Structure 1
Amino acid sequence: MAEGRGSVVAATAVLCLLVVAFQCEVSQAATFVVGDKNGWMFNLSGWPTGKNFKAGDVLVFNYPKGAHNVVAVNKAGYDGCSASPSNAKVYSTGADRIKLVKGLNNFICTIPGHCDSGMKIQVMAS
Structure 2
Amino acid sequence: MAAHRQVLLFLAVVFAVASLASATEWKVGDDGGWRAQFNKTGWADGKTFRVGDTLLFKYPKDNHTVIQVGKEDFAACNVQTNNKLGAWFSGNDVVPLDKPGKMWFFCSVDGHCNNGMKLVINVVGDGAAPAPAPVQPAPPPSSAPVMGYTAGAAVAVAGAVVAVVLAF
TM-score under structure 1 length normalisation = 0.84
Q: 2:64 aligns with which of 68, 71, 79?
A: 68
The CA distance in 2 between the partners of 1:54 and 1:14, in whole Å, is 26
AA aligned opposite 2:106: I
The residue number in structure 2 matching 1:121 is: 119
Determine which of 67, 92, 100 is the counterpart of 2:89: 92
- Worse-superposed segment, 14-23 or 46-55: 14-23
Aligned equivalent of 2:55? 59
Bigger strand share: 1
Larger Rg: 2
Would the aligned equivalents of 1:73 and 1:84 in 2 still touch at CA under 8 Å?
Answer: no
From 32, 35, 48, the counterpart of 2:29: 35
Q: How many residues align?
A: 120
Of 9-18 and 74-83, deviating more is 9-18
Q: Does 1:77 pair with 2:73?
A: yes
Q: Which runs of 5+ in 2 are unaligned?
A: 125-168
Structure 2 CA distance for aligned equivalents of residues 59 and 33 of structure 1: 6
Q: Provide the TM-score with structure 2 as the length reference.
A: 0.65
**Aligned-partner Cα distance in 2 for 1:68–1:50:** 26
Q: CA-to-partner distance for each residue in 1:19-74, whole Å, 9 max, x for gaps?
A: 21121221242110000011101222211001111123210000111210000010
User: CA shift at 1:18, angstroms?
Assistant: 2.4
Q: How many Å separate the matches in 2 of 1:51 and 1:28?
A: 15
* Structure 1 runs, 4 residues or longer, greater than 2 Å off: 7-16
Measured after TM superposition, the shift of residue 84 of structure 1 is: 6.6
